[in-house]
């Protein structure tokens, strides 16, 4: 198994632990759980976008597409600093992750991304991540 798969699935563990803690254990405060979830999801979102960077091929549109998650993550993190509604931040993050997944599916159908990567990694990880974000947003 590729190390990318192991790291990607292991990256979901903190979200699962935060969800479990928020509903059953209550070691952490809800605000801390939600802040951690937003920060960590922005990091994952940025990494997914960075996957689109290929320094061997000059494809400006794909490079710009790879940059957008970093920009959106910066905006979400900045808004989060000012204690805005977590509800809207979580919904925005979930929406951005699904839009990115849909675009990646389109790019896979055009043979720009490998379909195996999309089916075995991106779809399950995105679904598990967004489900946990939704659960955490309801705390």
- Write down the domain spans for the chain: 3-137
DSSP strands (E only) in 10-120: none
Residue 110 pLDDT > 90: no
pTM of the model: 0.89
Place of tokens 């779809």: 123
Calculate what percentage of the chain has a pLDDT beyond 90: 63
| DSSP-H helix ranges across the chain | 3-10, 13-20, 30-50, 60-81, 86-109, 115-117, 123-137
SS3 at position 106: helix
Q: Is 24's pLDDT higher than 70?
A: yes
Q: How far is CA 43 from CA 26, 37, 104, 106, in A?
A: 24, 10, 18, 23
């Amino acid at each position: 198994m590729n190390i990318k798969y192991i790291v990607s699935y292991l990256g979901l563990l903190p979200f699962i632990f935060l969800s479990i803690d928020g509903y059953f254990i209550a070691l952490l405060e809800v605000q801390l759980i939600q802040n951690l979830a937003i920060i960590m999801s922005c990091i994952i979102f940025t990494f997914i976008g960075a996957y689109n960077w290929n320094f061997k091929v000059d494809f400006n549109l794909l490079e710009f597409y790879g940059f957008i998650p970093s920009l959106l993550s910066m905006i979400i993190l900045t808004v989060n600093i000012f204690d805005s509604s977590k509800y809207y931040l979580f919904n925005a993050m979930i929406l951005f992750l699904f839009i990115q997944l849909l675009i990646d599916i389109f790019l896979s159908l055009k043979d720009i991304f490998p379909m195996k990567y999309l089916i075995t990694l991106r779809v399950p990880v995105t679904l598990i991540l967004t489900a946990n974000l939704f659960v955490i947003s309801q705390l």
